Chains A and B, each alone.
Chain A
Amino acid sequence: MESGLQERLQEIIPPQELNVWERDELLEQLAEYEPALEKLVLAQIEIIWPVSHSLCFAFLEYLADGLSCLSPEQIPEWVKGVLDAYEADGLRAARTYMDDVENNFLCRLRGESGLVFDEAQGRLVHYLRGLSQRNLQLESSQALFTDTSTIFLPREMTLFQENRSNFFAYKLLLTFQWAFLERDIYCQNGTDPYELEHFFLLFDRPELAQEVYHLLQTVRICRFLQEQLPGLMRDGHALFQLLRRKNAGGEKDKRAATALFEARQWLLAKCSLDEYDLENSELEGILISLLDENISNKQVFEATTHFYNAFCGDAVSMETGRPLLFQGELRTVEARQRRLNRREENKQKFITALAAVLPPQASSVEDKIREDEEKGPAANIIESGANVSPMKSSADKEPGDKQHNPEDPRYICLDDEHIELPEELRELADEIRNDLGELPSFYIASASQMAGGQGESPQASPESREGQSLQGGITYDEWDYRRQGFRKNWCRLIEKKVTPTKGTFVSTTMDKYRGQIIQLKRQFEMMRTHHRFVRRQRDGDDIDLDALTEAYADVKAGFTPSERLFIRLLRDERDIAALFMVDMSSSTEGWVGTALKESLVLLSESLHSLGDRYAIYGFSGMRRTRSEIYHVKGFEEPYTEEIKDRIAAISPIDYTRMGPPIRHFTKVLRDVEARVRLLIILTDGKPEDYDDYKGQYAIEDTRHALIEAKNAGIHPFCISIDREAQDYMGHMFGEVNYAFINDVKKLPLRVPEIYQSLTT
């Protein structure tokens, strides 16, 4: 061991960072390389060491293998890739990256990079939504797995040279993860969240049992997919065959490994409709039993135990080969945590949504609860409403109100009365029942207390006493659902100007959507020049033959003929005025705000070519004394540079009190001469103000303001951006009067589209 190397290493790694034997081991490894290479490797260590010590050791570990297919000149480039992977996803990712030099590095060098997730995502999300019929999320991650709410796919797919095939691989992976959820391999349809984890703990080596279980479930899933999605499985033949070939070199000496290996190969063969002879008939028996259509999770448990006892009992080796590519990882802990989180979310959602539809009742429960209320939200009071029972135990009710079966899940029991659950809540209630085995009585109790109307009371706020005089601005009433009446002159609304910002926002947006804007303009122009012949006019471009004949006949028959004998070509029948009311609350900060502004640009461009009259206002504010609207564009103002700069200047301010601006714009629109008057609200969620304008109070006031608008002959329409559809939306906006968008990226294009479909 030459001392030159030792010194050099000393320079790179300060003495205190490495103990003596670690240093010796390192030196030993380095000594194996010839001088030129040694220098190169040292240079890499110099780069990696400060980033992460463990990464540096891992690098040296993989280097030997790496050098079998990398030339020394390629090493620095490779290290860059390793560092990228490390920085994006940590050590595991870096190891995975180093493990497969061919696919992760060399392919790319040859210009055959794979398909990245971002490119496939758009298509895959729609595919997943259609497949699952629910709002499953899709994200990328280092590993392939699901936490039961989101499916995580690898960041890139480099299995094939061709991206079409890589896309297919993505789709297959995704479909398998969906099927795992669909067939409930995480056992979430049972009521015990720990069922699966506890099952694995019954074995000496839980991780091995888990692996067996996962594989056996995969056998079952393959059968399920063959039946449900035969096209996919057929297209997958090539992939299955490829995996089988890749697998073929696998370890075969240990019993557990052999059994798992054999089972995997058998499954892959099965999926590509090939023959595969299993030598072990016991193994074959287990696998074939899983192909039964009606097999349950419990039976898979049994099969797992059987498999484990037969082949893994005396397993010593930890090496069991890799799971199949499309299996991904079975992350039981993540699944369980997500389930428990979801349970909490569902509880809150259910209580708020149910409270919103329950009639406000002035019962004695209400007063009893009031003190508790001060301490915390209604949802946290457990079992306090003793007079409320779950529908489950309501079977012994007297047969008086027997129009429906008390076991009917559409009903809940509240104060001895059966109340029908509103349509929009049933799904949620089913989900909760699935999870807990019943709808807990205190959910209903909490909702009824909330509906009783404490806790969210605006009166509780000291600075907002009724009758306090409001100076300046315009005052508006506010709807108080508990008293079913208005609080007179309750809110003060102030109109402000937006100070234009000079900048590149609008031009950048125009650039970004150049293609789409051209297309939108064309579409909107077509709406404009929608020529239409109207018959039976007093004068016009042509004679209406039908009318003339009729008139002639009328004369003959002794009637006074009509004078409406002409056809007129109507060019501009659109007589529409639209006011856009844009949420400027602080929650729109970031992507949502940007997307909102982009959508205003696209909209203005489109409407400009269409010729409809439109106005744009922002709204925000804080407390009932300062509800603010921001003038961006009035109806009569043309779309000029100044307006563009005002759009660019829109930025998040305070809170979302929706009632006052809706009432204000209703008034504004009422004075606009137009056949159709639209009030379009762009918002990112629930109405909420700094004071007690929140929860049900806010929902009810907003709803009422919208109804007032409707009664004034205005068509309100809300476009709501949210991660998922909320149950209160239908109630607040009215079923057909809103659109919900869960993908911010889609917003800018969707807004003009919605406008188009609203007005044609």
Chain B
Amino acid sequence: MEYKAQKIEEHFVKEEPFYLEQKNELAVALAAYKNGIPLLLKGPTGSGKTRFMQFLAWKLNRPLITVSCHDDLSTSDLVGRYLIRGGETFWVDGPMTLAVRHGAICYLDEVVEARKDTTVVIHPLADDRRELAIEKRGELLSAPPEFMLAVSYNPGYQSVLKDMKQSTRQRFVALELGYPNADLERKIVGHEAGIEEELARLLVRIAEMTRGLKDSGLQEGASTRLLVHAGLLIREGVSPREACRVTITQALTDDRELLEAIDEMVSSVL
């Protein structure tokens, strides 16, 4: 099997991503970048964290290397490993090393999903040392000023097994990306799904209602992403209520009563 090393050029964001600022996140992120402080994005799912990183990378004109974390992620997966070809060994950089070498932005998505023994490698990288140790090669990489580390997580999950350690979180500038306000969200949904603003406004109204159900047992309300999905289906000709049922209602819960209540919200609005 041919192993293809990742090329850094592929990680540049070529076109300007569509991103509407919620508040001052761009200014904050740029300031953090300038001072070599890593970034922590907090927020519910689908609230634009990934999109913001793409936007930031484009603004800075740096490559963006994203790693989705999961509990099987090993240090080698991040840093790199030796491989063999034709009886010869050769070293392949992991995404983290790649980013450090080229002064890219390394974005660890859902960082709490990774095991704690994996995330320790980011510690020296996240404080003012800005170093990455590649043990196997006995190499100590110093990150250039262009390099940036960013991680994201969703504080909404209450699982005690996935809490971030203080020593980790205190190394970051934390930006909270909640749900955009109604006006902004309407514009986002309208643009992303390519639908009329009026329809987008109504979809946002539905989302707001579901977000009011936290005390009724709904873990999280409908995200911007779900609204975009609903909008896309409607544009394809699926009836609005049906589109919302399959993209929003069913995605949010399995609880009978809640399902029915959300259906009622949908049918009130659309």
Contacts and interface: CB of A to CB of B under 8 A. Distances in A.
Interface of B is mostly: helix
A698 B160 CA distance: 26
B190 to A, nearest CB: 17
Contact of B72 (A129, A232, A535, A757): A535
A175 interface: yes
A175 B217 contact: no
A164 to B, nearest CB: 12
Contact of B264 (A123, A550, A556): A123
A760 interface: yes
Contacts of A134: 212
A346 B149 CA distance: 46
B117 to A, nearest CB: 11
B261 A123 contact: yes
B89 to A, nearest CB: 4
A313 B244 CA distance: 51
A123 B257 CA distance: 5
Given A131-B265, A758-B160, A746 B217 contact: yes
Contact of A742 (B71, B159, B215, B258): B215
Interface residues of A, number: 51
A326 interface: no
A433 B211 CA distance: 26
B222 to A, nearest CB: 10
Contact of A553 (B83, B210, B212, B261): B83
A228 interface: yes
Interface string A743-759: 10010001001100111
Nearest to B72: A535
Interface residues of B, number: 44
B70 to A, nearest CB: 11
Contacts of A135: 215
Contacts of A753: 217
A438 B71 CA distance: 52
B159 A736 contact: no
A126 B158 contact: no
B167 interface: no
Given A123-B257, A127-B264, A553 B215 contact: no
A668 B268 CA distance: 52
Given A129-B216, A130-B212, A758-B158, A232 B257 contact: no
B150 to A, nearest CB: 22
B267 interface: yes
Contacts of A171: 264, 268
A515 to B, nearest CB: 11
B250 interface: no
A536 B268 CA distance: 54
A553 B209 contact: no
A131 B210 CA distance: 8
Contacts of A759: 159-161
B160 A717 contact: yes
B73 to A, nearest CB: 10
Contact of A229 (B159, B241, B269): B269
Interface of B: 71-72, 74, 76, 81-84, 87-89, 91, 136, 155, 157-161, 202, 205, 208-213, 215-217, 219, 241, 257-258, 260-262, 264-270
6 contacts: A126-B213, A126-B257, A552-B89, A556-B84, A678-B160, A758-B160
Interface of A: 122-127, 129-135, 171, 175, 228-232, 235, 532-533, 535-536, 549-550, 552-554, 556-557, 559, 676, 678, 715, 717, 725, 736, 739-740, 742-743, 746, 750, 753-754, 757-760
Q: Which 6 A-B pairs have the closest CB atoms?
A: A126-B261, A553-B82, A130-B209, A232-B268, A556-B89, A133-B212
Given A229-B268, A229-B269, 5 more contacts: A124-B261, A131-B212, A171-B264, A550-B83, A557-B89
